[in-house]
């Protein structure tokens, strides 16, 4: 593997020379496909449609994509993570302005931290983003979420732009945000944004429990407590344009203090746990096109994350733990147009992660990760294809004996190759039928918690291996009629196979002692469908409708011996994966008014692979409605929005024993320069 990495580095140095040699052939006319045109189109929400949703965070918006399950622990400050196609949240990469958000500790990204006030678009890719001008790390996920922040835009003759937003509503919500853009020169723009969120997190809920024989155990109404949150987000950005390229830099800071309401079990209605988070990262990238056939991107990032968890309840176990993560990330990608319709790229990444804690007997792990990706794409006629090969080598270093640090440190080495191929064919352009598909093998490294968490981690864990297969079709129509302006249908069938799945199992006879191990196997069959239409039935009325449906059969094939009794887990639907789910979203614009309606349905689930009545979780659904009025101002724009979420006051749980809010309201006032 070291020889392969050395060869990659040599190729990396030679690419500029090769590009110059190819560029010296004046008789060759390059008509290669644009590097930002993917082989398979993603699901996307952007612009006015994104802002019109009854959504506050990125996690809320992702609920309207097919194939997505959101784990939501309730309330404004509740933690929200995403799982696509039942692969697990650790297999979903989240990218912010082109670079991945990392969490080497547990591999999960809390998407509730990222507000929509500073977001231009959200794209969801199954498999991977099929672009060649991207870091090697972009190839290393089973699915990818790309979040793009707002770039400065100015009216003609203006050097300043910005917006101010104030939200208030249920749960004592106070949520102001401010954004200011400034054009420093004709080629350099600056932006600054800040947002503060406070909510007391209190809401009433109904808690109803049935025994397995169908009789009523209890039915009561209570108030959810200890869900308050104080959070501050601040971002600074700089954007520049060069004669043959562009650059950007961003600084991000997030600080929060939140209560953790906890699960409602054993008649405990209030918990006293708290969590503090402080996240900072600084990143930048440079993209240049020295010649007509050669482009490259270089990026760098530094991130520092702090988390403190406090459980002051001494009747259980007093816990006051702090964790600090640091990450350094460097990447460079080189793209060469070889012939018309044929491109190739090479990306090389280096990443360094550390984790420290005040826990007793902590192992203080460090990880160096080297990744190299070779990729090529072809385009001729209506055919597009991309193939890639990702090499990953990870080197872990940790204390041999935490009780005797003088004994030195141990090492752990993992290396893997991950191939992928993506294909699409469109017989006619620009509209009509398109057939697409992909096959990809990928894996995820065990997180620091999986390997080294005190008394739980298992340093001999193998990476979790994932094989993905997808076949689908899309049909797009651009009618010439004035009523229907656009129509698109997409259907995808897929199969995922997860082996060496990392799970926690009891160790010994005590149910309070657990260990991470590789025994899991999961087979996932699924079908996704989406339909989208834009209509203009009247001269001043515009309608947009979108509907998605997901069918998933995700079963646990870990151990046939687990099916020895009725409570066995073998071939059971895995935890919290519904077989059926769908959503409907529609918005209407008429003069100064906008009306948005959203409906989300998530079918029956189980909280364990043992699909017995005791583990059954009810389906849930919500209706959300919002009305916006745009104030008639001459030089600026202002609007007022009233939202009613969970219109029918549905009582439901996304995670068992974590009740969600009932009907709630939100008023939003917005002013744009």
The predicted pLDDT at position 504 comes to 65
Name residue 248's beta-bridge partners: 239, 285
Q: What is the pLDDT of residues 136-186, one digit of tens each?
A: 999 998 889 999 998 998 888 889 999 999 999 999 999 999 999 999 999
Report which of 252, 247, 301 is spatially closest to residue 115, judged by C-alpha positions: 252
| Domain spans, the chain | 2-672
The overall average pLDDT reported for the chain is 85
Q: What is the pLDDT of residues 587-635, one digit of tens each?
A: 999 999 999 999 999 999 998 888 888 888 889 999 999 999 998 787 8
Name residue 272's beta-bridge partners: none
**DSSP 8-state class, residue 57:** B
Q: Is 13 helix (H, G, I), strand (E, B) or coil?
A: helix
The predicted pLDDT at position 506 comes to 54
What are φ and ψ of residue 407, in 5° steps?
-75, -5
What is the mean pLDDT for each group of 10 consecutive residues in the chain (673 residues)?
41 40 34 50 83 76 84 73 83 90 82 84 89 91 90 88 94 94 94 94 83 75 88 95 94 93 78 90 95 94 94 82 95 95 96 92 92 95 93 91 76 92 84 90 86 74 90 83 81 92 57 60 92 88 92 88 72 89 92 92 89 88 93 86 93 87 93 89
What distances in angstroms separate CA 488 from CA 51, 242, 433, 434, 472, one per listed residue?
21, 37, 10, 11, 14
DSSP for 209-273, please give it: EE-TTS-EEEEEEEEE-S--EEEEEEEEEEEEEETTEEEEEEEEEEEEEEEE-----TT-----E
CA 172/CA 201 separation, integer angstroms? 7
Cβ–Cβ < 8 Å for 476, 432: yes
What distances in angstroms separate CA 12 from CA 8, 148, 169, 330, one per listed residue?
6, 28, 54, 14
Measured in residues, the chain has a length of: 673
Name residue 277's beta-bridge partners: 256, 307
The predicted pLDDT at position 271 comes to 80
Structure token pair of residue 34: 């644009």
Name residue 335's beta-bridge partners: 295, 345
The predicted pLDDT at position 50 comes to 81
The predicted pLDDT at position 314 comes to 75
End-to-end CA distance of the chain: 55
DSSP for 90-135, please give it: GGEEEEETTEE---TTTS---GGGSBGGGEEEEEEEES----SSS-
Name residue 561's beta-bridge partners: none
CB within 8 Å of 540: residues ≥ 6 apart: 590, 591
Q: 2-672: which CATH topology?
A: Maltoporin; Chain A (2.40.170)
The predicted pLDDT at position 49 comes to 77
CA angle centred on 298, ends 292 and 299, rounded to 5°: 145
């Amino acid at each position: 593997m070291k020889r392969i990495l050395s060869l990659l580095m040599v190729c990396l140095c030679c690419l500029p020379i090769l590009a110059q040699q190819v560029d010296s052939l004046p008789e060759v006319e390059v008509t290669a496909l644009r590097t930002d045109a993917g082989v398979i189109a993603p699901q996307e929400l952007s612009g006015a449609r994104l802002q019109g949703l009854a959504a506050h965070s990125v996690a809320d918006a992702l609920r309207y994509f097919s194939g997505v399950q959101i784990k939501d622990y309730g309330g404004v400050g509740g933690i929200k993570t995403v799982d696509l196609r039942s692969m697990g949240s650790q297999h979903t990469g989240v990218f912010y302005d082109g670079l991945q958000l990392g969490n080497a500790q547990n591999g999960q990204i809390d998407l509730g931290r990222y507000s929509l006030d500073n977001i231009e678009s959200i794209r969801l890719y199954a498999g991977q983003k099929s672009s060649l001008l991207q870091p090697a790390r972009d190839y290393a996920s089973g699915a990818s979420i790309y979040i793009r922040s707002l770039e400065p835009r100015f009216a003609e003759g203006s050097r300043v732009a910005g917006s101010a937003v104030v939200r208030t509503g249920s749960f004592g919500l106070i949520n102001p945000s401010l954004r200011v853009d400034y054009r420093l020169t004709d080629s350099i723009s600056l932006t600054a944004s800040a947002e503060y969120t406070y909510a007391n997190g209190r809401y009433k809920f109904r808690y109803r429990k049935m025994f397995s024989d169908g009789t009523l155990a209890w039915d009561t109404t209570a108030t959810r407590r200890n869900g308050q949150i104080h959070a501050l987000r601040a971002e600074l950005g700089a954007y520049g344009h060069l004669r043959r390229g562009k650059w950007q830099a961003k600084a991000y800071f997030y600080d929060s203090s939140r209560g953790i309401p906890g699960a409602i079990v054993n008649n405990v209605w209030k918990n006293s746990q708290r969590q503090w988070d402080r996240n900072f990262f600084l990143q930048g990238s440079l993209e240049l096109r020295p010649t007509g056939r050669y482009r490259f991107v270089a990026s760098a990032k530094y991130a520092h994350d702090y988390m403190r968890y406090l459980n002051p309840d001494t009747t259980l176990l007093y816990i006051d733990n702090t964790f600090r993560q640091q990450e350094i990330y460097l990447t460079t990608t080189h793209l060469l147009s070889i012939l018309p319709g044929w491109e190739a790229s090479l990306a090389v990444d280096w990443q360094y992660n550390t984790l420290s804690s005040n826990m007793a007997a902590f192992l203080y792990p460090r990880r160096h990760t080297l990744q190299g990706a070779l990729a090529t794409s072809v385009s001729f006629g209506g055919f597009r294809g991309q193939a890639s090969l990702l090499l990953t080598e990870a080197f872990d270093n940790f204390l041999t004996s935490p009780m005797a640090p003088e004994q030195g440190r141990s090492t752990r080495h993992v290396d893997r190759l991950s191939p992928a191929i993506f294909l699409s064919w469109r017989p006619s352009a620009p509209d009509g039928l398109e057939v697409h598909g992909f096959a990809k093998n990928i894996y995820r490294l065990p997180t620091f918690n999986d390997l080294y968490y005190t008394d739980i981690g298992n340093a001999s864990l193998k990476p979790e291996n994932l094989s993905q297969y997808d076949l689908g079709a899309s049909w797009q129509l651009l009618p010439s009629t004035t009523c229907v302006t656009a129509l698109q249908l997409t259907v995808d069938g897929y199969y995922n196979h997860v082996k060496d799945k990392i799970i926690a199992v009891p160790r010994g006879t005590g149910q309070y002692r657990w260990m991470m191990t590789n025994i899991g196997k999961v087979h996932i069959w699924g079908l996704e469908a989406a339909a989208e239409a834009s209509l203009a039935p009247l001269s001043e009325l515009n309608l947009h409708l979108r509907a998605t449906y997901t069918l998933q059969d995700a079963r646990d094939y870990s151990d046939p011996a687990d099916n020895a009794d009725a409570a066995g887990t073998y071939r059971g639907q895995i935890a919290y994966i519904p077989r059926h789910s769908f959503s409907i979203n529609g918005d209407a614009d008429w003069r100064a008014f906008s009306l948005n309606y959203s409906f989300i349905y998530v079918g029956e689930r189980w909280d364990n692979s043992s699909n017995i009545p005791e583990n059954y979780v009810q389906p849930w659904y919500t209706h959300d409605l919002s009305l916006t009025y745009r104030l008639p101002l001459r030089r600026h724009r202002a609007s007022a929005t009233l939202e009613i979420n969970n219109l029918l006051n549905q009582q439901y749980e996304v995670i068992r024993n974590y009740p969600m809010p009932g009907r709630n309201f939100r008023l939003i006032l917005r002013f744009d320069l």
